[in-house]
Structure 1
Amino acid sequence: MFVKKLFHFLVILWISTVVVSCDKPGMPYPDGIMGDGSIEALVLNEGLINTNAGAISVIYKDGGVVVDAFQDVNHRPMGDVAQSITLINGKYFVAMNNSKKIEIIDPVTFKSVGTILYTQAGYPRQVVPISSTEAVVSDLNRQLVRIRTVAPYGKPLEYISIPRWVEYLVVAENKVFGMTQGGLYVFDADNIKKDHARVIKEVYNEEYTKTCQLLVDKEGMIWGLMNQKRDGAVTGVTLKCVDPKREKVVKSYTLPFGDPNSQTPGEVIGYINYNRTDIDPTGTWIYFNVKTRSVEENEEGVKEQQSVYRMNVETGEFSHYYDLPEVRMMYGFAVSPEGDVYLCDCLDYTAQRGYVRHYLKDGTKISHKVGVYPSQVYFPGSQR
């Protein structure tokens, strides 16, 4: 009897701390309407290359998940390697890297309303609007691709050769900013030309920070995260602020690392392969992940963990936000408008369906099983 009661107690305790969501079969709502206001988050899943498994998973507030909303509605795959999702003019623009196309999707029904197919070589990554009718797409093929964002969508309008390949873009002061290993490139939005490119060399990415998106704060300033190095060693995480009007760095704040051999719990001891960044809806707090000293040993017998820190853009003050003791390498990272941490977990990278781990402020962790290689979490209505 005692063993049976103990078993029941342990089961209840586990349920109270870890919740696993379940799939919703087929179309969960009448008339095929999936985006009816009960969506908690969308998850963009890359899918294994050459399998056409790119997908949008829908996580609902009741815990249910539709794994592949596009396939359910359109009865065809969305494409190969889904790279990014952006809301422009009331439609989702999804860059499909290996399919060399932009899929345009209704955010309520998830029906395809158009497809922009590349007519020459390219690998579309991120889409940003540059006017009420046009956007540019970053590309690994050393080009920016100009497209229409209103119907009829048609083919790309222009392929613009640029000095280096760019992934993350932001638009501010009618200029397009793109982070590269050679610096932050600047183009005039209404005259994007290779010969007119400027570069801010003090802001650049490297192998371990290339997954950090550029962020725009509430004052319209641009922020980029870099690892600070001294004598070849990484000694801290630096956030640099660029004034888009003057095209120059105006602020720089560094969170230094402590002694990597220190046994002090909570001390920041290193950087992560790879760093991730996000900003809250008010444009005040920038979030990023670092390595800290933990109390308990992990599976490798080492006392270290990932932790989320944040920085106030007004004061440059850093503060600890959340510990993630079970996380090794994350494939995507986001902080919800409510301040919850979401991580994309690809498990062992063997093309099985992954999870989104949702960490609530009260310490509860909810796991949502989604598509293959989840990489981006998007919160409808919160795009700045």
Structure 2
Amino acid sequence: MSVDVNEVFAVERADQLEAARDWERELQSSVAAGTVKRLPDGRYRVLSGWDAGEILSARGVPQHGLDLSRGQPALYSAVPAWHHVGNVIPGGTDDIDKVLRLGGIDYHVETVPATYLWKGEYRVAEDRFHTVRTDTGASLGVVGKGYTVVQNRRSFEFLQELANDSHAVWESAGALRGGKKVFVAMRLPGHVTVDAEGIGDEIIPFIVVVNSHDGRCPYEVVVTPWRPVCGNTERLAVRDAFSRWTVRHTRSALDRIHEARRTLGLSIKYYDQWADEETALARTDLAISEFDDLIDTLWPHEEDATARVRRTHEARRDRLHDLFAGEAERTGRTAYAAERAVTEYLDHFAPIRPSAASGLKGDKLAARGLRLLEGTDDELKSRTHRRLMLLRPS
């Protein structure tokens, strides 16, 4: 049977174009329905659903930034993500080994001596080592002799007790940056509500464990209202010791990880307190002049600043005003709307310059996703929260 390859190609291309038009129509329909918003830079932000806050490219394509070392995105999730990749088990699973395997993080990491080339001869650096994935042989980073690898399973298995004791659910697991950073998220039972009698924002708390193998970041456990399913997931600020637990990759790390369980025993109590504070902000009216004062406090500049600095400051102010106006349409002109506006600016609009050291030079989307997951701007978000709390009516 003969095949006209030109005809086959034409049919396939027509199907591709129609699929693209369908996607464009679906995207614009979502914009019209108010579930997706077009951003000033041409990208889109998802406004509702599990992945509210997800940023799409100008063509409506999600940017997941997940590890592709094994040929497919390294992600397990209990619910489908907007980017429609990864292994999904509806409702989740309580099998940690399955979570690690489906999340693509069931690999081990070893350290091997670092070598360097000197005058045509390879030499061994006595105090430097490469961390290497045993499944792919890829180098993940260069570390010192005091660095201790925290294997993926060991770093997450302490959460299994929560799954057994409190019906918590494994929500997601995956790897970023070629496996240099891995994460697991567990959904805590119940939820908290911000301003139940007003805007009624329901927040579901998650425990997220982040482990790295490149020597750049500590092992960290955070309590957050967002489950990570990509490198672009928004993470709200964490404001006290009960919601963040960190340990460096030293010999004592393995012995200390069990301390995280005791510390996180106050997670639900913390979230109740957090919801009370956010409710107070939602009931605090905020004048534009007060919002401008907040901006000047967070990003102060001298009166004799250069023209370039002044332009940058005004551009930031304009963007923040736009974001505040958007939030105010939903929640009113309140301190809560102001906090959300600052958070959105830091997470999605603040200037970022990926460095060669991060391995993401030139890839601003991936660099921004890493910045969110690592909580680079948490201190500035915390200052925003504290400043706005001072404006509550006495």
Q: TM-score, normalised by structure 1?
A: 0.27
* Structure showing greater Rg: 2
Q: TM-score, normalised by structure 2?
A: 0.27
